[in-house]
A and B are shown apart, each in its own frame.
Chain A
């Protein structure tokens, strides 16, 4: 699809997945909803300015101790552009029932005999046991905004990692809201995204029951039955800063939530630094043990 720039008159090719971009000839904003595309219902405005995003990225990289020095010291992103990316949003409710065996640890003291210096001696030791109970009951959870990526600009994993977004701050769709940003049109339809949303809700509920909700120390044989209710979907555009950071031979893609400043990215690990850190810890432990043995011998 092509679009004519109202500022310089140039005709610019705009892909079917692009809702807004800038003119390649004069940098003016271009907004055009592609034919057949679902227009977004609402737009979450940027709260984090460009400088704030740049500083957040720097703090994020500096906080990765085991990243290569060139990455940690990267002064600023090579490129940083603002994007409005489409997400489907549902209100979700999950009513579940569960059955599980709950394990609660307890300890007992037992005596045992062993041989020391050729003599049989009796000693005591503490043994941990687990007592098991059956438990079944209800579990209910709700999500005000369960979000699923509606485009290809963000993978579902990236979308989940960037959350949460406060959709209460969203304003109704208006092309002027995305002018000056790169905006992506929805290419994943609501039905496909709905299946993803329902699967994610079931998975979260199961994980929550098995790992957090059940009491006791361990759980086994957890079975869960969940009824998921999803509202009508809303298509919203959320603000994301997309950065490319170069550090030495490494090129990183880093994303910043344009509303909260949350930063995500895959930062490489410098295994030499890890080895040095492990070596230093082992050295300290070794010195400590040697000191303790020397003291024991001296006394």
Chain B
């Protein structure tokens, strides 16, 4: 197994011997340094094969490029270099005892009243990235992967190079607890009609928790926009896509002018009606 680390983004990629990567799969940088084999973390327990092919991934990018009116029209024709890759993540089943405080609207002089409470969540499933390059926000945006397709890890029978996990069991569990606590905070805020941004949560994790290191399938697309390499990531099961989408400054300016004109028109109309 060859393991190399990108000097720019820090991502580490493993591949079968004899098939070295010419450039970083995550950012396109070409300075890759070999990783000391003694420091390579243990292998994952399971992996999931890709389901969508390059054509479907490319179509997902075209839809992404058309998905915002503010994106430049030329983005639809950008040359996208697509690579399939398996990215490390931890799948956790865990529970928390959560205590919280917040503010609700009330018929008081300040219009607010403090409230507090406690709740428990059991046996929740949380996936957190173990990657140096894939963020929690990107993983959340990619949506769920089909867990039923997970098969035991066998490095000789994968369908893509894989990124080496950078996050230990220990740290990933702490991150999973934080992600779950954020979910609980959103739920409690809705259920208790708390004022926006007023909730504070603290938690104690349940003793029983299980985590599985696994590799999830994604397509990484690199394209160059105004001489800067940009990246999108695509769910290898569903085609859900997230990543960099540049803005067309002319379109943004046109939207600002149109918005300002509309507001001015409304103000004038209101003053005319009022007069």
Q: Which residues of A contact B (CB under 8 A)?
A: 45, 93, 95, 102, 104-106, 129, 131, 133, 135-142, 144-145, 166-169, 208, 212-216
Q: Range of interface residues on chain B?
A: 20 to 34
Pick the residue among A45, A104, A135, A142 that contacts B116 (CB under 8 A): A135
Q: Are A137 and B99 in contact (CB under 8 A)?
A: yes
Pick the residue among B109, B115, B169, B204 that contacts A95 (CB under 8 A): B204
Q: Are B108 and A131 in contact (CB under 8 A)?
A: yes
* B118 proximal to A (CB < 8 A): yes
* B137 proximal to A (CB < 8 A): no
Q: Are B103 and A216 in contact (CB under 8 A)?
A: yes
* Bound-complex Cα distance A95 to B169 (A): 25
A92 to chain B, nearest CB (A): 10
* B226 proximal to A (CB < 8 A): no
Q: Are A166 and B204 in contact (CB under 8 A)?
A: no
A107 to chain B, nearest CB (A): 9
Pick the residue among A93, A106, A137, A144 that contacts B170 (CB under 8 A): A144
- A168-B171 contact given A104-B110, A131-B110, A140-B203, CB 8 Å threshold: yes
- A102-B114 contact given A212-B200, A215-B103, CB 8 Å threshold: yes
Q: Which residues on B sit within 8 Å (CB–CB) of A215? A: 101-103, 114-116, 198, 200
Q: Are A208 and B108 in contact (CB under 8 A)?
A: no
* Bound-complex Cα distance A141 to B177 (A): 12
B40 to chain A, nearest CB (A): 12
Q: Which residues on A sit within 8 Å (CB–CB) of B171? A: 166, 168
* B79 proximal to A (CB < 8 A): no
Chain A CB within 10 Å — which of B118, B174, B198, B205 has the most? B174
A-B contact sample (19 more), CB < 8 A, given A45-B39, A167-B170, A216-B114: A104-B114, A105-B110, A106-B110, A131-B108, A131-B110, A135-B101, A135-B114, A140-B98, A140-B204, A142-B203, A142-B204, A142-B205, A144-B174, A208-B202, A213-B200, A214-B101, A215-B102, A215-B115, A216-B112
* Bound-complex Cα distance A144 to B171 (A): 9
- A133-B114 contact given A104-B103, A144-B174, CB 8 Å threshold: yes
B227 to chain A, nearest CB (A): 27
* Bound-complex Cα distance A43 to B117 (A): 41
What is the predominant secondary structure among interface residues of chain B facing chain A? Answer: strand
Q: Which residues on A sit within 8 Å (CB–CB) of B99? A: 137-140
* Bound-complex Cα distance A145 to B109 (A): 44
**Chain A: which residue is nearest B174 at the CB level?**
A144
* Bound-complex Cα distance A142 to B118 (A): 15
Q: Which residues of B contact A (CB under 8 A)?
A: 39, 97-99, 101-103, 108-118, 168-174, 198, 200, 202-205
What is the predominant secondary structure among interface residues of chain A facing chain B? Answer: strand
Chain B CB within 10 Å — which of A138, A139, A215 has the most? A215
Pick the residue among B101, B109, B118, B204 that contacts A131 (CB under 8 A): B109
**Chain A: which residue is nearest B194 at the CB level?**
A215
A210 to chain B, nearest CB (A): 12
23 contacts between A and B (CB under 8 A): A93-B204, A106-B109, A131-B109, A133-B113, A133-B114, A135-B114, A137-B101, A137-B117, A137-B118, A138-B116, A138-B118, A139-B202, A140-B203, A140-B204, A141-B202, A142-B204, A144-B174, A169-B168, A214-B114, A214-B200, A215-B101, A215-B116, A215-B198
**Chain A: which residue is nearest B173 at the CB level?**
A144
A259 to chain B, nearest CB (A): 11
- A129-B109 contact given A135-B114, A215-B101, A215-B103, CB 8 Å threshold: yes
Q: Which residues on B sit within 8 Å (CB–CB) of A167? A: 170
**Chain A: which residue is nearest B199 at the CB level?**
A215
* Bound-complex Cα distance A103 to B232 (A): 47
* Bound-complex Cα distance A213 to B97 (A): 16
Q: Which residues on A sit within 8 Å (CB–CB) of B202? A: 139-141, 208, 213
* Bound-complex Cα distance A168 to B98 (A): 24
A146 to chain B, nearest CB (A): 13
* Bound-complex Cα distance A263 to B58 (A): 44
Q: Which residues on A sit within 8 Å (CB–CB) of B174? A: 144
Q: Which residues on A sit within 8 Å (CB–CB) of B170? A: 144-145, 166-169
* Bound-complex Cα distance A140 to B98 (A): 7
Q: Which residues on B sit within 8 Å (CB–CB) of A129? A: 109
Q: Which residues on A sit within 8 Å (CB–CB) of B39? A: 45
**Chain B: which residue is nearest A45 at the CB level?**
B39
Q: Which residues on B sit within 8 Å (CB–CB) of A135? A: 101, 114, 116
**Chain B: which residue is nearest A143 at the CB level?**
B174
* Bound-complex Cα distance A144 to B205 (A): 10
**Chain A: which residue is nearest B117 at the CB level?**
A137
Q: Which residues on A sit within 8 Å (CB–CB) of B115? A: 215
* Bound-complex Cα distance A93 to B205 (A): 9
**Chain B: which residue is nearest A97 at the CB level?**
B99
Chain B CB within 10 Å — which of A104, A129, A145, A166 has the most? A104
A187 to chain B, nearest CB (A): 27
* Bound-complex Cα distance A166 to B110 (A): 44
* Bound-complex Cα distance A189 to B93 (A): 37
